[in-house]
Amino acid sequence: CASTSCDTRHHNCTGCEPISLELCMNLPYNHTRFPNFLGHVSQRESSVSWESSLFPALVQTGCYQYLMFYACTLLVPKCDPLSLSTVPPCRSLCRTAKEKCESVLGIVGLQWPDDSDCAQFPEEGGDSTCLLPEAGVDECSPSHFKCRSGRCVLASKRCDGLADCDDRSDEDHCGCTERSLWECPGSGVCIKTSMICDGIPDCPLLADEVNCSACGDNELACNNHKCVHRTLWCDGKKHCTDASDEWDCVSLTQSSGSILTVQRTADHYHVCADEWNQQLSKLTCDQLGLGVPASVSMVPEQGGPPGRRRWLHVHPEWEERKGSALQARLEKRSHSCHSGKRVALVCVRDKCGLRPAMDARLSRQKR
């Protein structure tokens, strides 16, 4: 013992300590001392004890209004700051709790805690002080929700879709906050806080995935909000851990004749038709998930001085770059495109979703 006033049995060594047992955080006192009246030597032992499970469950039966207060005077007894001694519950409180709730436990075959013999506690008005529930004592612990009827139910039962209060009040006003969830801005959808900024959109309009990155001027944000240098964007190699730097790098413009547009270093380019071939057309349609090429055309570039075009050319070793996406088979060039023509491509869905022709004898049987 650190205290010279203690004996060598390592009992009563500590002084008053702040209450940390969540069940009993709303008591009219803030400090406790161990061992408690159930023989536990610490708040940790108290928190994992049989009684700390039993009493909150019993409170839900509504057997006694101040049962939780009584339970807490046993689990984390009040510590008197002057005498540094524990203050017990009054005998009448103990007797009332036992009278009203012991029989409820008996119904499910459980016994009232052995260590809570009421004779050990003083009568109120006697020589020693004891605790009684005063006005304003919370009937429910912080781990409980108080029903409109006054009954306590476990807080985890609040807004779980099942009525636990006798008046169903635990299912009223079930917003996101009441369920310890985050409300998507602009909608009533609730999501777990761990889902915010995790790279997977859960809210309508992706509201849980905005303002999640702080990338530098030369960087772009991956889908999972990591930052990758813009020159590495759409080069056919994965740099974002979720590979989002390589998604949507290839597209066909819908508005102007299916012109093939490819991203490199986070800028959009047209593809010079000079070295284009059928295999690349097939790869493009395949990569876009659009089926097979139906037509390829070379469209003259229009408008603006030719020197300012941004072209991508087919890489000289494009055939060796097998298995990689179209963006890896193209390379950036600073000079212009010889023909001045860009690639336009139309893909058609192949045979997906087609069932074999029905047998006419089965489908058109005369009556």
- Contact string (CB under 8 A) for other proteins, positions 141-160, x = contact: --------------------
- The secondary element (H helix, E strand) that includes residue 68 is helix 67-75
- The least CB distance from residue 278 to other proteins, in Å, is 19
**Is the distance from CB of 190 to CB of 182 less than 8 angstroms?**
yes
Instruction: Tell me the CA distances in angstroms from 305 to 1, 302, 310, 340, one per residue in order.
Output: 90, 9, 11, 11
Structure tokens at 200: 């997977």
From 126-134, 138-146, 267-275, 317-325, give the range in contact with other proteins by CB under 8 A. 317-325
Closest CB to other proteins among residues 17, 202: 202
The dihedral formed by the CA atoms of 77, 81, 82 and 86, expressed in degrees to the nearest 10: 10
Residue 264 to residue 332: CA distance in whole angstroms: 8
Closest CB to other proteins among residues 316, 323: 323
Residue 98 to residue 112: CA distance in whole angstroms: 8
From 48-56, 270-278, 294-302, 350-358, give the range in contact with other proteins by CB under 8 A. 350-358
- The least CB distance from residue 241 to other proteins, in Å, is 11
Among 84, 176, 179, 247, binds other proteins (CB under 8 A): 247
Instruction: Determine the 3-state secondary structure of 29 from DSSP.
Output: coil
Closest CB to other proteins among residues 95, 237: 237
Instruction: Determine the 3-state secondary structure of 58 from DSSP.
Output: helix
Residues 320-339 that bind other proteins (CB under 8 A): 323-325, 328
Among 148, 335, 338, 349, binds other proteins (CB under 8 A): 349
Residue 348 binds other proteins (CB under 8 A)? no
Exposure letters 69-100 (e unless 16+ CB within 10 A, then b): bbbbbbbbbbbeeeeeebbbbbbebbebbbeb
Among 9, 173, 308, 355, binds other proteins (CB under 8 A): 355
Residue 354 binds other proteins (CB under 8 A)? yes
Residue type, 93: L
Which residue has 């408008």 as its token pair?
Answer: 303
Residue 208 binds other proteins (CB under 8 A)? no
- The secondary element (H helix, E strand) that includes residue 94 is helix 91-107
- The least CB distance from residue 179 to other proteins, in Å, is 11
From 57-65, 101-109, 146-154, 347-355, give the range in contact with other proteins by CB under 8 A. 347-355
Binding site for other proteins (CB under 8 A): 161-162, 200, 202, 236-238, 243, 246-247, 287, 289, 323-325, 328, 349, 351-356, 359, 362
